[in-house]
């Protein structure tokens, strides 16, 4: 993965974790990046980002009061995004994921 793509993905993940980017804007940026960056780390980031955003889509109480995200789940999902961003920023490679089975 090119350095600029790594930095872009890391930035998107950090913004999501700090809640400084909206979900629609995040997914638009992620999709644009995923179209040309076909790396194993993208699949990991996709799974973690999906879990993160799903914590905000709980069923509503009495059909109109939004339920709050589970604090522990949200913390774990946020930590995952930050960890993946740190991996991308340091340039750490994932050789076991790059290998073909």
pLDDT in tens, 21-35: 999 999 999 999 998
Q: What is the pLDDT of the chain when averaged over all its residues?
A: 85
Q: Kindly report the number of other CB atoms within 10 A of residue 73's CB atom.
A: 14
Nearest to 14 by CA among 86, 97, 69: 86
* 0.75 exceeded by pTM: yes
51: pLDDT strictly greater than 80 = yes
Nearest residue to 87 via CA among 42, 24, 55 = 42
Residue 75 has a pLDDT of 95
State the pLDDT at residue 95. 59
């Amino acid at each position: 993965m090119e350095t600029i793509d790594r930095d872009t993905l890391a930035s998107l993940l950090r913004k999501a974790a700090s809640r400084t980017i909206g979900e629609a804007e995040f997914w638009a940026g992620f999709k644009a990046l995923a179209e040309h960056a076909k790396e194993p780390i993208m699949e990991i980031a996709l799974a973690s980002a999906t879990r993160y955003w799903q914590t905000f889509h709980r069923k509503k109480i009495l059909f109109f009061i939004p339920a709050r995200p589970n604090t522990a789940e949200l913390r774990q999902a946020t930590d995952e995004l930050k960890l993946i961003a740190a991996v991308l920023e340091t340039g750490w490679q994932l050789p076991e994921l790059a290998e073909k089975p």
